[in-house]
Structure 1
Amino acid sequence: MAAAPNLLFVIADQWRAGALGCTGRDPVLTPALDELAGRARVLTDAVSNYPVCSPCRGMLMTGLYPHRNGVPFNVNSATAPEVGLRPETPCWSDVLSDAGYALGYIGKWHLEAPVEDDASYGEGRRDDGKVWDAYTPPAHRHGFDFWYSHGCCDDHARPHYWVRGAAREEVLRVEQWSAEHETDVAVDYLRTAARRYHEQGQPFALVLSYNPPHQPFDQVPERYRVHYQRREPRDLLPSPNVEWGNRAAAEAVEVAPLYYAAITGVDEQFGRLLTALDDQGLMNDTIVVFTSDHGMQLGSHGLVYKNVPYEESMRVPFLISWPGHVAPGADDLLLSSPDVAPTLLGLLGQSARRPPQMQGRDLSDQLLVGITAGGGPDPARPGAALYIGPGHDVLRLDVRGLRTHTHKLIVEAPPGGPLRRQLFDLAVDPYELADVADDQPDVLASLAELLCHELDRIGDPWPGRRIIQEELAAVGPARPPEHARPSASTGPPVIPSHGKSTA
């Protein structure tokens, strides 16, 4: 197995796509990631299809959409035991374990349903009365033989972990910033894994799941805060869709310097991982991925956090490096969360072992050296990505949407009420300031038809689909609009891309 590549998969919580220095959008310092971006494939249009922690993580691990993977809502004591990743649901990590990989998981898991005893250990109950943290029994760890994890602990300055075969009551408590401590553990893991790889030919896959830059924001070390102190509010939040003069803007001004400080801190820790890979002679043999589970509004559209269909929540960073195999450059490939699992298996040479129930697309061929987009549409490149989310009742998945390179359609189906639609023209309005549903009826109808097709493809039971299909049948088939792909000058301010891979 000496020729098999390794995998280092790093996921940060609540890191939006624009919060990379190399994008020029948010005023953040991320030198390690900027350096990686210069030699990695940077997916500028990677999306979190359900931009909140547990549902996105469930999709990343299983390649299944939430109605199929058991995680349609955040996992906590209010949604347990119905919500949680089932041990019998295959993940990409199960496939690699069966293929002989050593697997390690460090950091936040947030896929295990809490049981009553979890209120007594770990984080305990929060102010909302819910238990969010949970012990994950070994049989529920989906092939990870090295375990150094918590369920969902938001005490970043004093984190805790369940280590390897420790029992629920055997909690390791640490007095160190969580991102730094977890990187210490990961660097040690890489040293051990490197010896096995070089001497025995056993490849490894390591997931490092940082909780920062997720709130609470006031726990970031002072050494990172100094970079953003005394910055003017409009310098911190330069986006034209930040709505000033309301409570959300005031909170965003308060948390922005701390959010950015946490990002700079995680970037420094990520740089340590890259150094460790290089020191151990693993850089050329390891696929490195950096991404996030979702973004954050930070004042845009009068909101602060996530779980909404706007770009600030939905679009995430996705950098992938494998020297000599993955062609570097910016790429607007519409990667969806469920695509990650089958794509990783494809890159790792495990496509034949892919569980047949995985719904995501294997896009590995789009990333490898020698694969370049032609002059016309490439059917292998997804033309749209779904949005799935709650309506006014957070325990009802009442909203569906579709994001293409040029438009975004959002449809809400409140119980007993008429459908509500929004349409944004991303090509000319990347900050989603104007609803053009009334101005572009052909686009609206075409995307509604495509949305129904995508929901049918994945077997989504959303009741609004039937209403849309009945409406479309009444007016006849939609005339496909001319979708001009956005150029670098009209699209979001990201690393330059001209509508196709620059590989």
Structure 2
Amino acid sequence: MKPNILLVMVDQMRFDCLSILDHPVVETPNLDELAQKGVVFSNAYAATPTCVPARAAVLTGMSQESHGRVGYEDKVPWNYDHTLPGELAKSGYHTQAVGKMHVYPTRKLMGFHNITLHDGYMHYNRFKNEVKTTETFEYCDDYLNWFRDKKGYDYDITDLGLDCNSSTMARPWELEEKYHPTNWTVQQSIDFLRKRDPSKPFFLKTSFVRPHPPFDPPKVFFDQYLNSDMDDPYIGEWAELEDITHEGLMPTAKKGDVPAARLRRARAAYYALISHIDYEIGRLVNAMQEYGVLDNTIILFTSDHGELLGDHNRFAKALPYEGSAHIPFILNDPGNLLRLKKGSTIDQVVELRDIMPTLLDIAGVDIPKSVDGKSLLPLLKDEHTSPIREFMHGEHSYGVDSYHYITNGKEKYIWFSQTGNEQYFDLENDPYELKNEIDNPTDRSRIDRLRQFLIEQLTGREEGYTDGKKLIVGKEPKTCLSHIR
């Protein structure tokens, strides 16, 4: 039988929040074990680092230019001919998604046989005066209905008073840990192992909403970090010191409105949510062993994007900096089906679009021509060492901060399309982008090469970012390209 596949996705987890990578605070023993007995891709990125476009890349294997989501916009229908679960289902896999999908319509299957859904707080589902009956949160969210069945209809996921996108507020989960959405996601995944068709291989996507806000870890994890030494954010010498956009900056900023104590609680809660997920992943792996499927299952762990967590006086995601765009990416093979070099690290630049072709390749399923990503299986088998791509192009429409970036994991060039500002970082010597080297004459040839690569990537784009010879400042960015509207 073909191997089972478990895709574990978290939401908004930084690339560096693994204790195996010597993070000074966070502890992730179960993820560390997956890495020690698997392969770590140390330069994995989200090309468009917010939930909607990142998840489109995972499900379709397409670049952002192809799947059309080059910024964040809800309620744009997801109509794609080929998806990862769809291709696996057509090839005989029993496919199931648990947790976050963030597609539209909300309950669209996207090729899965079934979804057990919890997307977190979805604004367009919560605005009771605007949504249709089939789009209300109560109609769409399986966790909320389960939660109310257990605790009563008066309970809601907003009861802690935390905003779904605030990266600066935190408080512990007030109920028993078993009612937390992280625990629910794993419980539903384990239940799938019981209900699955044993005559078929399975594809299970276990997708956590955390460590995305609200920052609400169970108290035992929160206390662990709140009472420990806390690391500081990375502040580039180029970082803004005034909160011009009123988003809330660090205490180190001249007009920051996030007090040091609040920042400490937020960072503690963020790390606590990661450790909570880590324990629950351990629970899921144990259950797979009990059901006798672990040794015939390939496990891939990743995140849709990161969290700046105060880096460069900014919070949340969307921006092109390492805390936001650089993600964890671990492939584990408990039964040694792929003959991996366990405990190894691959430093080639990879992106979320590579997940679909990699998993299809592992399953022996043909990769559709619509897929832009590259199978990583040759790298895993060490069949060649030449790069699967020279550079990766990322972007995000983000108002005045709309940008494009080019990276190979060792260096990064950023162009802000509305202002013309440029940045260049030597990631090998400056992994947290503390010094902008754009005016460093020794790097001029490298910068010119990366700028030219960006021009090539943007030539022919409908926004008019380039005439093929130079970058053109001030062209209006779009959140979605016209071919998907």
Give the TM-score range, shorter chain: 0.7 to 0.9
Quick check: 1:236 aligned with 2:223? no
**Helix, strand or coil: the match of 2:225?**
coil
Aligned partner (choices 188, 192, 196) of residue 191 of structure 2: 188
Greater relative CO (CA pairs within 8 A, separation 6+): 2
Which residue is equivalent to 1:226?
223
**Helix, strand or coil: the match of 2:224?**
coil
Cα distance, 1:7 vs structure 2: 0.5
Cα distance, 1:256 vs structure 2: 0.4
Code of the aligned partner of 1:336: E
Aligned partner (choices 127, 143, 146) of residue 173 of structure 1: 146
Cα distance, 1:188 vs structure 2: 1.6
Which residue is equivalent to 1:276?
287
Q: In the aligned structure 2, how far is the partner of 1:167 from the partner of 1:305? A: 28
**Helix, strand or coil: the match of 2:395?**
strand
Identify unmatched segments of 5+ residues in structure 2. 124-133, 152-178, 240-249, 473-485
1:344-423 superposed matches below 5 A: 344-350=359-365, 352=366, 354-368=367-381, 370-371=382-383, 373=385, 378-379=386-387, 381-393=388-400, 398-414=402-418, 419-423=420-424
Taking a change above 3 Å as real, the CA distance of residues 464 and 249 of structure 1, as seen in their structure-2 partners, is farther
**Helix, strand or coil: the match of 1:211?**
strand
Residue by residue, what CA displacement relative to the aligned partner does 1:43-88 show, whole Å, maximum 9, x if unpaired?
A: 1111111111111001111111234324333343xxx3xx2422x4
Quick check: 1:330 aligned with 2:345? yes
Q: In the aligned structure 2, how far is the partner of 1:249 from the partner of 1:462? A: 40
1:129-208 superposed matches below 5 A: 135-136=106-107, 140-153=108-121, 172-174=145-147, 175=151, 176-193=179-196, 196-197=197-198, 200=199, 202-208=200-206
Q: In the aligned structure 2, how far is the partner of 1:334 from the partner of 1:249? A: 37
Taking a change above 3 Å as real, the CA distance of residues 333 and 84 of structure 1, as seen in their structure-2 partners, is farther
Q: State the Cα RMSD in Å.
A: 2.6
Which residue is equivalent to 2:464?
463
For this pair of structures, how many residues does the alignment match?
A: 406
Which residue is equivalent to 2:355?
340
**8 Å CA contact 1:19, 1:26 repeated in 2:** no
**8 Å CA contact 2:252, 2:313 repeated in 1:** no
Aligned partner (choices 448, 454, 460) of residue 445 of structure 1: 448
Code of the aligned partner of 2:431: P
Code of the aligned partner of 1:387: G
Q: In the aligned structure 1, how far is the partner of 2:296 from the partner of 2:470? A: 52
Residue by residue, what CA displacement relative to the aligned partner does 1:213-258 show, whole Å, maximum 9, x if unpaired?
A: 11111x22112112112234xx332646596523357353230000
**8 Å CA contact 1:249, 1:299 repeated in 2:** no
**8 Å CA contact 1:70, 1:85 repeated in 2:** no
Residue by residue, what CA displacement relative to the aligned partner does 1:159-199 show, whole Å, maximum 9, x if unpaired?
A: xxx9xxx9659872315100101111111212333xx43xx
Code of the aligned partner of 1:173: W
1:488-503 superposed matches below 5 A: none
**8 Å CA contact 1:154, 1:215 repeated in 2:** no
Q: In the aligned structure 1, how far is the partner of 2:355 from the partner of 2:77? A: 19
**8 Å CA contact 1:18, 1:26 repeated in 2:** no
Code of the aligned partner of 2:272: A
Taking a change above 3 Å as real, the CA distance of residues 433 and 187 of structure 1, as seen in their structure-2 partners, is same
Taking a change above 3 Å as real, the CA distance of residues 249 and 387 of structure 1, as seen in their structure-2 partners, is farther
**Helix, strand or coil: the match of 1:269?**
helix
**8 Å CA contact 1:105, 1:208 repeated in 2:** yes
**Helix, strand or coil: the match of 1:236?**
coil
**8 Å CA contact 1:237, 1:253 repeated in 2:** no
Which residue is equivalent to 2:84?
92
Cα distance, 1:6 vs structure 2: 0.8
Q: In the aligned structure 1, how far is the partner of 2:280 from the partner of 2:29? A: 11
Quick check: 1:430 aligned with 2:424? no
Identity %: 26
Which residue is equivalent to 2:482?
none
Which residue is equivalent to 2:307?
296
Which residue is equivalent to 2:270?
259
Q: In the aligned structure 2, how far is the partner of 1:28 from the partner of 1:10? A: 19
Q: In the aligned structure 1, how far is the partner of 2:456 from the partner of 2:298? A: 33
Taking a change above 3 Å as real, the CA distance of residues 151 and 231 of structure 1, as seen in their structure-2 partners, is closer
Q: In the aligned structure 1, how far is the partner of 2:97 from the partner of 2:452? A: 41
Cα distance, 1:453 vs structure 2: 3.3
TM-score calculated relative to the size of structure 2: 0.78
1:1-150 superposed matches below 5 A: 2=1, 4-76=2-74, 80=75, 83-86=76-79, 88-113=80-105, 135-136=106-107, 140-150=108-118
Which residue is equivalent to 1:317?
328
